[in-house]
Amino acid sequence: MEVRRRHGTLYDPYYESFFATKPLISLANGEYLAPHRGLVLAQGVEGLFDLCKENWPNEFGSEFGSAFEAYVGRILHDLPGVRVIPEKESRRYSDKKMCDYIIVGDGYILYLECKAVEYSAATSTEGAVRGDNSTVKIARAVDQLVSAATLAKEGELKDLLGDREDIPSIAAVVTFRHIYQANNNDYWDNAIMPHAKSANAANWRSLFVHRPQTLDVSELESLVSIVAWENSRPLDLFADKLAQSELLVGEWTSYLGKRRSKECTLGPLNNVFESFMDDILDKVRE
């Protein structure tokens, strides 16, 4: 496996092909060549994010963050038999750090924080990972998850959550794009913990059944669709996935991809797709 140098910067071989972000080649005669048509279609969606982030970083960042959090909330409502509590509701019970959503389900509580981030460093050395903006934001999210769970454990949220004694709790940070190896031990110990401000973060076992996980939004979509299809619980998927060696099941993307059937779909996405197709058919008939 070759590690290449470009403009004097060391690039890791696991990085996506250059054509993932620049899917067209401009030819001298004014035409364009697409090495892979699927990448052109994918960039039609993700490319808008990259363009806006590059040209209007401050304005777009705040607007996109709010939209991202709202979209995650829509996904969470597809979980069967749950109560989804947004931060604005939990804020009525405490002015301390809180996470974006608390999901109360059948015999479990899921604490969830949204961070519309991606890994942006040019390399994946230990120093680059630790200093990347995505790492800092994920560590901040862990602090918020730990704070919310601590408040619940100490009884400050009893009027909101009821008696949580003996109810297993899990936690997750949802990112916009995939953060490579975000759930392995080295990332937690050497990247997250140096940035975490909460003293309880290192003692997560007193709050959660499993260490807080980092999922990108597509992984969250898959997890929720599987839970809805099987009428199970996120707690069950956490237990199944994290009880196995990552060498056997891979990261969350691999695990969920193997477990998800073709019939697993999300209600919000179904509605958008059906509406889109109806509009197209109406225009064709006209």
Band (13; pLDDT cuts 50, 70, 90): very low
Q: In the predicted model, what is the mean pLDDT of residues 167-184?
A: 92
User: Do residues 72 and 199 both lie within one domain?
Assistant: yes
210 φ/ψ angles, rounded to the nearest 5 degrees:
-130, 155
Write down the pLDDT at residue 10: 46
Burial class (CB in 10 A: 0-12, 13-18, 19+), 7: exposed
**Dihedral angle, C-alpha 115, 189, 111, 74, nearest 10 °:** 30
User: Do residues 97 and 10 both lie within one domain?
Assistant: no
CA 284/CA 267 separation, integer angstroms: 26
User: Do residues 237 and 162 both lie within one domain?
Assistant: yes
Q: In the predicted model, what is the mean pLDDT of residues 19-48?
A: 78
User: Do residues 171 and 126 both lie within one domain?
Assistant: yes
> Can you give the CATH number for the domain in which 157 is found?
3.40.91
User: Do residues 12 and 129 both lie within one domain?
Assistant: no
User: Do residues 47 and 87 both lie within one domain?
Assistant: no
Structure tokens at 73: 């909330």
Q: In the predicted model, what is the mean pLDDT of residues 121-143?
A: 82
Write down the pLDDT at residue 3: 40
Q: In the predicted model, what is the mean pLDDT of residues 195-217?
A: 92
pTM of the model: 0.80
Residue type, 72: V
Q: How many domains does the chain have?
A: 2
Please list, residue by residue across 72-101, b when 16 or more beta carbons sit within 10 angstroms of its beta carbon and e when fewer do: bbebbebbeebebbbbeebeebbeebbbbb
Mean pLDDT for the chain overall: 83
The answer to whether 76 and 267 are in contact (CB under 8 A) is no
Write down the pLDDT at residue 283: 67
What percent of the chain clears pLDDT 70, i.e. is strictly above it?
79
Pick from 131-140, 234-243, 276-285: least confident:
276-285
User: Do residues 172 and 70 both lie within one domain?
Assistant: yes
Structure tokens at 106: 């059948």
User: Do residues 128 and 266 both lie within one domain?
Assistant: yes
Classified as helix, coil or strand, 116 is: coil
Higher pLDDT pick, 155 / 40: 155
Helices 252-259 and 217-230 sit at what angle, rounded to 10 degrees?
A: 30
User: Do residues 50 and 143 both lie within one domain?
Assistant: no
The answer to whether 83 and 107 are in contact (CB under 8 A) is no
Write down the pLDDT at residue 122: 60
Residue 16, pLDDT above cutoff 70: no
User: Do residues 215 and 263 both lie within one domain?
Assistant: yes
Write down the pLDDT at residue 286: 65
What percent of the chain clears pLDDT 90, i.e. is strictly above it?
46
Highest-scoring range by mean pLDDT, 25-34, 83-92, 158-167: 83-92
Q: In the predicted model, what is the mean pLDDT of residues 242-255?
A: 89
Q: What angle do CA 16, 18, 22 make, to 5 degrees?
A: 120
For the chain, state the CA radius of gyration: 21
User: Do residues 5 and 67 both lie within one domain?
Assistant: no
Higher pLDDT pick, 31 / 214: 214
Write down the pLDDT at residue 17: 63
Q: What domain range is 265 assigned to?
A: 61-285
Write down the pLDDT at residue 162: 83
Q: In the predicted model, what is the mean pLDDT of residues 254-283?
A: 67
Residue type, 261: S
The dihedral built from the CA positions of residue 235, 103, 174 and 208, taken in this order, carries a sign that is negative
142: number of Cβ within 10 Å: 27
- Whose CA is closest to 231, among 278, 264, 192? 264
Band (12; pLDDT cuts 50, 70, 90): low
User: Do residues 148 and 197 both lie within one domain?
Assistant: yes
Give the ranges where the chain is alpha helix by DSSP (H): 37-55, 57-76, 87-90, 126-131, 133-153, 158-161, 185-187, 193-195, 217-230, 234-242, 246-249, 252-259, 267-285
Q: What are 112's strand-pairing partners?
A: 101, 172
Q: In the predicted model, what is the mean pLDDT of residues 82-90?
A: 96
Residue 6, pLDDT above cutoff 60: no
Band (133; pLDDT cuts 50, 70, 90): confident
Band (1; pLDDT cuts 50, 70, 90): very low
Residue 5, pLDDT above cutoff 50: no
